[in-house]
Chain A
């Protein structure tokens, strides 16, 4: 029997249901695992996403796009294929896509993490026959610390900066990580200020019912606002730009899983690196794979060869699911471009964003 999903020029395709999952071209029908730019392209004929991610996706693909939503766990039949969406724990509304047809069940994880995140539903293990997993951080050097420990580290850094009269600038991807960090820090230390790209998503999160602490916009005319005391959350593209000038003396920290490595931390010359990722770490990947109880595992998006070989040695029927762009994660390609390695481009499979950076965060730099 043919596979339920195949890789085509436009992306992961289900012929039986005639739909794509996270297509990289405009297609008539797309199921979107989450709203990050490398998963949610604009211009498709019709979208389907998980209900909690509706507003976030809307803000990314535009008001005119027809978007259907499905509550987590509910089932929809598309041309005879049973489709349901299940929380992936990556960002608000991120979903694993479960497909069932002819007695075979597939799960496509999209991006996922197992750590607790107060801004989205926790990852839900879904049993299946074939498990399609990402592998962004699929090397054993990547192991995340407890989110509470990281939050304390960030708070300590912010407090020390405040006491020294420096503004704390925390670089994080505008969708997901920025909100997660805002929810994790201690707002009693000082005001939290969001870059325009961050605020757009903060609004979508709030409108979706996620509780976030007060976050101020950067007022266009009031210079020096919050300078010396505030925590400014901004996309990595602002690093080294004039946009930061209004905050006076700053300490700039990057929040990314790639910050695990000393070489990456040093190269970019951030004052500080916090190891925070919305992707599963290496043990997390292995845990999720085991929990799926799948008889076959397809590895995509990241350290595909490495993880596949390890799984095979451990007796798992595993293979690489080739995506359009081959290669392993280049931590800096993303970081140096000023784009977050985790959420958008880090996996390196997505070569297109490197060559022609998504405009998302850049249009608002002049704010």
Chain B
């Protein structure tokens, strides 16, 4: 436990990638396989279960500290992290005497003080918790509390973990990244087999690490000749890989989860592909020639079992845009143009929903009938043809009507790399919607922003009053957040727990990706991915936009907009 605590704080103390990898490497090189496997599970940020409710922990900690429960809550509101709050208020006596922690490894600590606790009654839980408290120093308590409440998240990406493990195992980082895809390391044995140099049996069904695109930062004209690029629509769905190997097919999300159960019709279609095939593409919800958008797909993606009704309500297709493996051979090193040629031979039908003309749709329908060998669940992503960047820009401007998010630019000669390779794949998304809105409420953030008011609710005018329309968390620089925090404190009208109602004085340019009518929100609209673009210091609240402005945007965004329930809490 002490070793893992040290790792946690080393990772916490640095923002340098190299130092993080170094800390991870030191940890994995020294930790027993059992602890290492356990640490990987924690670091992967996977779903952790809560062994003890935080309500009980707060109550016990209040009693141990000799303070009332409301004061624990006040502390939490100030600190912004419950695990830390509890660690700080608990008596230090006893903890200082034992600097070696609980005296057991991470795995044993997890098993005996956390996992086994889930089934225990409250009395047993309390006895164990108080026992551990007495044995841990405050910095160890914080980590243990996070494990106990299922909220231990550390700021390391899977790529960094893969790099560290590759160094320890003495294999290529790409090999390790590949092995880590979808492979659940849950115990000492699976950890050992992960760290072996030999190919393992579990390698067989693994997807390839996804190549991620970056948002374009320059005028596309600066990318050189338009003919060097393959251009596709940027689909508003869920990224996935179909892995057809052996005698079955598996479907993997970008989150590296197996999602076969959620998309049975796609998996069934995928089994008709020749074995030894891996496709990269997008799961889309499609009805007739209309794209239903990401929100519709997400209704399916989390499911273990999909009811018949939902299958009918949200019919899905897989639109492939890359071929990574053919006849059991990894072809990621071939130029994209060549991979696409083979892809179109393998999956001849283009996706026309939203993006095709009536003529191509008719042709496709004809092809569908003749080519019954491949069910139309599997399609390929058609190229957007443009002679110039200007004509592509014109095509892009039709994105919103089509229900797509813009264009993808992929270098014709590029291999399929690992991770976010800059320069070969660019997202050229449509401009977001924007409106000027007024700060109405502010709430203190968590983690790095603990104690600072960094979560903002913004509103627009309606009938002479400001009505809240979006909650935005990001977009301001750290220094601006601090400055705004001061304004929030100085202009507070009311406080409701951690939320402050402020005098409307500050105007922000708010951007969002989608907008729809909503009965769940007071203002009657829900916006998708709202974020602050700019602090409009030169503007005052009367300059802000109105609800009528937003309603006009809804009328503009007519296609592909089912309500987005995730937009606003």
Contacts and interface: CB of A to CB of B under 8 A. Distances in A.
A263 B75 contact: no
A332 B67 CA distance: 26
Contacts of A141: 75, 78-79, 85, 88-89
A260 interface: yes
Contacts of B485: 330, 332-333
Chain B facing A: main interface SS: helix
Give the interface residue-count category, chain B.
Answer: 20 to 34
Interface string A251-274: 000000000111110110100000
A40 to B, nearest CB: 24
B420 interface: no
Interface string A282-323: 000000000000000000000000100110010000000000
Contact of A330 (B12, B15, B65, B486): B486
Given A140-B88, A330-B489, A351-B486, 4 more contacts: A263-B452, A264-B450, A330-B485, A333-B482
A351 B482 contact: no
Contacts of A139: 71, 74-75, 78
A306 B68 CA distance: 11
B219 interface: no
Interface of A: 139-141, 143, 260-264, 266-267, 269, 306, 309-310, 313, 327-333, 336, 348, 351, 354
B146 to A, nearest CB: 12
Contacts of A263: 79-81, 446-452
B71 A140 contact: yes
Interface of B: 12, 15, 65, 67-68, 70-71, 74-75, 78-81, 84-85, 88-89, 92, 142, 446-452, 478-479, 482, 485-486, 489-490, 492
Contacts of B482: 332-333, 336
Nearest to A310: B71
Q: Which 5 A-B pairs have the closest CB atoms?
A: A263-B450, A141-B88, A336-B482, A140-B89, A327-B489
Contacts of B492: 327
Contacts of A140: 65, 67, 71, 75, 88-89
Contacts of B84: 261-262
B157 to A, nearest CB: 18
A140 B74 CA distance: 10
A243 to B, nearest CB: 19
Given A140-B67, A141-B89, A330-B485, A264 B451 contact: yes
Nearest to B15: A269
A313 B68 contact: yes
Nearest to B86: A141
Contact of A332 (B75, B92, B451): B451
Contacts of B450: 261-264
8 contacts: A139-B74, A140-B75, A141-B78, A266-B12, A267-B448, A306-B74, A313-B68, A333-B486
Nearest to A306: B74
A258 B208 CA distance: 46
B85 A332 contact: no
A189 to B, nearest CB: 22
Nearest to A266: B448
Nearest to A272: B13
Nearest to B76: A141
B19 to A, nearest CB: 11
